[in-house]
Amino acid sequence: MGVTLRLSILQALAVVLALASGHNIWAAFFSNSPSIINHFASMTPLLLISLTIDSFQGVLSGVARGSGWQLLAMWVNMGTFYFIGMPLACLLGFKFKLYAKGLWIGLICGLSCQAGALLLITLSRKWIKNEISEDVDRETRIFV
């Protein structure tokens, strides 16, 4: 799991650096409007944070699925999205009139809580290290 997490964070950082260094170029691919390019520039930090956390969370969700913790992961996903992420998104987006930024900040908070909960679950499990025995007699091996 550690290697996969490091690789996913490295990949996310590469994408983050590409987006951060050329966010005006990326926005110009889709629109010529200076207003839209400026709005995209103001939303870029949220996109970068979201990409980084999502890559981390994706690996942890894969660990949960592969370890047979689907039900537990489902409750974590549902709890963090519906009870943390969406209420915060609605509160920030509509009540505090942050609109798209508020919605995205709320979803980032839910995603962060989800990643944190899955990390705690993964770290709290007792992992058994399997060792490959090298004392296997070569003559007893069966090749098909």
Encode pLDDT of 31-87 as tens digits. 999 999 999 999 999 999 999 999 999 999 999 999 999 999 999 999 999 999 999
Q: What angle do CA 73, 100, 26 make, to 5 degrees?
A: 95
pLDDT bucket at 123, cuts 50 / 70 / 90: very high
Per the CB < 8 A criterion, the answer to whether 79 and 91 are in contact is: no
Structural domain span for residue 86: 2-126
Whether residue 119 lies inside any domain: the answer is: yes
- Kindly report whether the global pTM for this prediction surpasses the value 0.85: no
Taking only Cα atoms into account, the Rg of the chain, rounded to an integer number of angstroms, comes to: 21
Q: What angle do CA 36, 40, 42 make, to 5 degrees?
A: 120
Whether residue 142 lies inside any domain: the answer is: no
In the chain, where do the E strands start and end? none
Q: How many structural domains does the chain have?
A: 1
Whether residue 60 lies inside any domain: the answer is: yes
